[in-house]
Structure 1
């Protein structure tokens, strides 16, 4: 919890300072009741689940499995569109859901019926983080174009971190923290939060959003590779194959594969 708070408060403050230096009026988002309520909801119901619940899933399992489960978020969005907007899924979405189910089954059972290779706690926090990942894509859709990604994301992170501070004080640093841990925390804040979000949002100036989302969908693959290379996490072939199926399913939802197949055919 402390790490999540420090990550969100620090990253949010850095983004708002960058917004001020670029003269993007960081406080303008609070001048309208609608945008203020949306950024509060964005922080409480989106960023807290996607940040804190994801870390709980990592703690209960490992980074690769937690990340793969979090990237079930497109299917949460599909379900929202069906229930809330009455929009039936497209053919690519149906195929993606089936492929994701197969991948999740292999990931959870390790290929054995009746056996659960991942603890229920990992599934619980991982799926809640997937809901959070879907929420952060749905809630700020209206205010992001008007106020910009730095202001929207910065205030959302700050609201989320300060809200968690009412339950657990972020200013009480854990005792006996070595300098190596401080360096790792700095890397999480700067590289894993600020740089990642800023670069991702800047990419829309050069590539289409669908392309950016497709590239972002490879995060589970990178998490798996680095877990094997750096953390020596033992993964079975079922974990790898199940993760690959989920990544494929995300790609099916992001890009209309049938459209490109028809173009190649003709």
Structure 2
């Protein structure tokens, strides 16, 4: 790999981390005016079409074929795109953008535990210790060192929904192992399109039942830049940048850039005038430190069966 190509690959990973780190504060703004289900439907109603168009341009029309596995792709797409995004946005509406970013950064650690359940192979002691430290960090962030206050104003409910969303995305990502011959772009685009069908159905049923009220066009127009960020940058540019960077530098190196997500979210919070308690800052540092430490430890463990799947956890957040 040439120096220019290597630099471009690192740059793509940095770009993806920066975009995803800023995505939660942007989504928080949207959720003040538009409900979580409608926000998800708009994001993927447009984003999935863009990804399908890119897939056809890169791999041809034949890549749209499900090869007789439509049901499985539909299930993974529903869990990954409908489940993850609707739960994440509902949780974000009752939590803070910084909490969401830290919880999402926990996904590689969640994958370690899920792979343990799937394979029955116990992770190394150092890895389990890193998982415990990361979860402790999340606990400190979401409680700000005061567990007794966690349930006030529904904050803990929001954070639990964010954790459930992370579980959905880990499940979806691990599902990619069922399609070993497919590129990440193809798996994301095809399953995402099928998952969007579920999103639109959920939105229709929610609107008909009165659970949500569709926003006025003027409201959506006033959030044009925010939706452009969520759709074009978050759902398309960041996805393609992450996939390209991971392919070039490898998952072990690339996964380190997921640490940018909580860092950027906290920096945006500071810029917006948010005050963070010591426990929140310490918790975020513990999560980032645990991720880095386990990554460095993993470089000494070859082979690592779950490395590639864990590294792809944030293909699309």
Shorter chain as denominator, the TM-score bin is: 0.7 to 0.9
Residue of structure 1 aligned with 2:72, choices 38, 50, 70:
38
CA deviation string 1:131-162 (max 9, x = no partner) = 0221122011232x523222211122222222
Post-superposition offset of 1:56: 1.6
Is structure 2 residue 172 aligned with structure 1 residue 136?
yes
Residues 1-266 of structure 1: matches in 2 within 5 Å?
1-25=37-61, 27-33=63-69, 36-112=70-146, 114-116=148-150, 119-143=155-179, 145-169=180-204, 174-175=215-216, 176-177=218-219, 179-229=221-271, 231-256=272-297, 259=300
TM (norm. structure 1) is: 0.86
After TM superposition, the structure 1 stretch with the greater mean CA deviation from structure 2, 177-186 or 204-213, is 177-186
- Specify whether residues 57 and 254 from structure 1 end up closer, same or farther in structure 2 by C-alpha distance, changes over 3 A only: farther
The structural deviation recorded for 1:21 is 1.6
| Root mean square deviation of aligned Cα | 2.5
Moved over 6 A (4+): none
Contact 1:140–1:152 (8 Å) recurs in 2 = yes
TM-superposed CA distance for 1:257, in Å, is 6.2
SS at match of 1:256: helix
- The offset of 1:67, in angstroms, is 1.6
Encode CA deviations 1:77-119: one digit per residue, 9 max, x unaligned.
2222222211111133122122113212322332246442872
- Corresponding residue of 1:263: none
Aligned 8 A contact 1:7 1:188 in 2: yes
SS in 1 for 2:121: coil
CA–CA distance in structure 2, aligned partners of residues 258 and 158 of structure 1: 35
Unaligned runs of 5+ in 1: 261-266
Query: Is contact 1:50–1:129 with CA below 8 Å preserved after alignment?
Result: yes
**Could you tell me how far 1:245 is from its partner in structure 2?**
0.7
For structure 2, the residue ranges without an aligned partner over 5 or more in a row are 1-36, 208-212, 302-317
Q: CA deviation at 1:27?
A: 4.7
TM-score under structure 2 length normalisation: 0.73
TM-aligned CA deviation for residue 187 of structure 1: 1.6
Q: Is the 8 A contact 1:67 1:220 kept in 2?
A: yes
Counterpart contact for 1:29–1:147, Cα < 8 Å? no
